[in-house]
Chain A
């Protein structure tokens, strides 16, 4: 089978790979690049565990074919903290609010919420709920997740970000 040569940027690093067409971006991220923070959940675009940010927008990595990665600018959970390992305000807020239990869905939620706050730094509670509707959490009941995102949003009031 003909492999496809792809060039893309992931977490700020330019990367080139030859990929099999019949696998997803999720498989490449986890098994070729060994960035295992992005999780395999339903594989059908319903649970959001594999959410990554591509060209500024959140996507399900399980629904993107590997050759489509060519030219993409990709951010995964590993690229959210800064180079010195300082957590982003959202990551810290998830800890402060205990917005996770088992933690499996957390990278996906952080990516969805990061994309939301990049686009809209001061979302309402309803806007937050709409933005994370594509992420499932079976532990927390969502309340603490919403509160963690609201906490960061409230600190963005007045454009202080």
Chain B
């Protein structure tokens, strides 16, 4: 691990100023489960590591039916999976958080870090895409909110400006929403998603979000339109499962082939819709 200076800002303004001053020479540090590995393998070699965990107020997870769920930047996957409100109102998000790594990793890894990393297979991504979650960004210049679907722009690319940090992710509450999270991996625990997907039923609408099938997690607008307000007959589910294949652009990689991923997308859509009808 190359030498670096370890910085612990105590406020968001201070963190923003450090980010602006050091630019690409600095890396943001949160749960560290990805960054420490990148440092150790010299995949990144920053001069400054900015640890945001000493900033007060980023560790809270709050819920109300009017404001929805707000997950602070430093809330761990383990805390999300164990949260009573998440389990009650967003059980598919709890399932996604619990599917990350191991107990040890979940006690460190954060949901916001998972999103800022912008890996196409981020496990907490698809439930948040399906719920139209919003990323809360802040810098010394002010605050702004960006829909998660616009926040991640490509593999490991986001719209986060060089002086900004993500303070939280906000997940709207939808009365009566039900959802199914599915992760397909090479083994049951401690693995990356080969494919992951979340299907949510909200009123008469269906929302489908998939990971590891394109450069970013994706929603499926055509399939969602097909299902909107319709009764889920066997024939419609079959039609939706086939249509869903056309809305993803998977690649061949170390974990699976493109053909396998297309087949599994179809299976996840079919099984999830059957479970939700």
Total count of chain B residues near the partner, CB < 8 A:
28
Q: In the complex, which residue of chain B has the Cβ closest to the Cβ of A20?
A: B3
With both chains docked as a complex, state the minimum distance between the C-beta of A156 and any C-beta of chain B, in angstroms.
19
Contact indicator per residue, chain B 20-40, by CB within 8 Å of chain A (1) or not (0): 000000000100110011011
Interface of A is mostly: mixed
Give Cα A133 to B4, complex, Å.
33
Contact indicator per residue, chain B 212-249, by CB within 8 Å of chain A (1) or not (0): 00000000000000000000000000000000000000
State whether A48 touches B3 (Cβ < 8 A): no
Contact indicator per residue, chain A 9-51, by CB within 8 Å of chain B (1) or not (0): 0000000000011111000000000000000000111101001
**Contacts A57-B107, A134-B105: A44 and B6 contacting too (C-beta < 8 A)?**
no
State whether A44 touches B37 (Cβ < 8 A): yes
State whether B6 touches A63 (Cβ < 8 A): no
Give Cα A24 to B35, complex, Å.
12
**Chain A positions within 8 Å of B6 at CB level:** 2, 4, 21, 65, 67
Number of A-B contacts (CB under 8 A): 90
Q: Is A91 an interface residue (CB 8 A)?
A: no
State whether B40 touches A43 (Cβ < 8 A): yes
Give Cα A39 to B39, complex, Å.
20
Q: In the complex, which residue of chain A has the Cβ closest to the Cβ of B187?
A: A133
Given contacts A44-B40, A45-B105, 6 further A-B pairs with CB under 8 A are A22-B3, A43-B37, A45-B33, A58-B104, A68-B53, A134-B190
Q: Is B263 an interface residue (CB 8 A)?
A: no
With both chains docked as a complex, state the minimum distance between the C-beta of B2 and any C-beta of chain A, in angstroms.
6
State whether B102 touches A2 (Cβ < 8 A): no
State whether B108 touches A64 (Cβ < 8 A): yes
Q: Is B159 an interface residue (CB 8 A)?
A: no
Chain A interface size band reads 20 to 34
State whether B2 touches A134 (Cβ < 8 A): no
Contact of A22 among B39, B53, B108 (CB under 8 A): B39
Give Cα A68 to B29, complex, Å.
11
With both chains docked as a complex, state the minimum distance between the C-beta of A104 and any C-beta of chain B, in angstroms.
17
Q: Is B49 an interface residue (CB 8 A)?
A: yes
Give Cα A61 to B53, complex, Å.
17
With both chains docked as a complex, state the minimum distance between the C-beta of B147 and any C-beta of chain A, in angstroms.
31
Chain A residues engaging chain B, CB cutoff 8 angstroms? 1-2, 4, 20-24, 43-46, 48, 51, 54, 57-60, 62-65, 67-68, 112, 115-116, 130-131, 133-135
Give Cα A134 to B33, complex, Å.
14
Q: In the complex, which residue of chain B has the Cβ closest to the Cβ of A54?
A: B107
State whether A58 touches B107 (Cβ < 8 A): yes
Contact indicator per residue, chain B 96-119, by CB within 8 Å of chain A (1) or not (0): 000001111101100000000000
Q: Is B78 an interface residue (CB 8 A)?
A: yes
Give Cα A45 to B191, complex, Å.
11
Which residues B44-67 have CB closer than 8 A to chain A? 49, 51, 53
**Chain A positions within 8 Å of B5 at CB level:** 1-2, 21
